[in-house]
Amino acid sequence: MNTETAIFASGCFWGTQFYFQKAPGVISTTVGYIGGTKENPTYQEVCTGKTGHAEATEITYDPSETSYENLVKLFYETHDPGQMNRQGPDIGTQYRSAIFYQNDEQKEIAEKITEQLKAKGHTVVTEITKAGPFYKAENYHQQYYTKGGGTPYCHSYTKKF
């Protein structure tokens, strides 16, 4: 099977993962840290805001069943991209809205969808940044809502496209 990877940060990674793991064509999701300066950061270190990392979700998907464009749209529809360095009650740079692209094609798609959203009158502060190393978060963060039940407290779905 041919697979591709996408990485999105949209506040608490538990809520981001909650929506992406259910999306058609998604094979797997992993929560972790990206965009910072420290190798192999811990959750406690990221929470200080001093490492520069964002809480993010890495999505492995089948491009014959869904597209990167569909994933970018879902990303924007499951959080408020107009909130700077926060999402709901979670505040700090680790909760920023960001798309970490893998290649030029992903960058172009992310920029195109972002412009479409802005043209619809939405405020967007989302960073579009080349992906660097992604560090898997501790096991207790993986599949948080699947293991513990419940639903995200700072993410919800709102149709925007």
Q: What is the pLDDT of residues 74-105, one digit of tens each?
A: 999 999 999 999 998 999 999 999 999 999 99
Dihedral over Cα of 119, 54, 31, 135: its sign: positive
3-class secondary-structure state, position 68:
helix
Token pair for residue 77? 């529809």
Q: Provide the annotated active-site residues.
A: 12
Instruction: Evaluate whether 109 touches 69 at the Cβ level (below 8 Å).
Output: yes
Domains in the chain: boundaries: 4-142
pTM score over 0.85: yes
Q: What pLDDT shows up at residue 158?
A: 92
> Kind of pairing, strands 86-87 and 134-136?
unpaired
Please give the CATH superfamily to which domain 4-142 belongs. Peptide methionine sulphoxide reductase MsrA (3.30.1060.10)
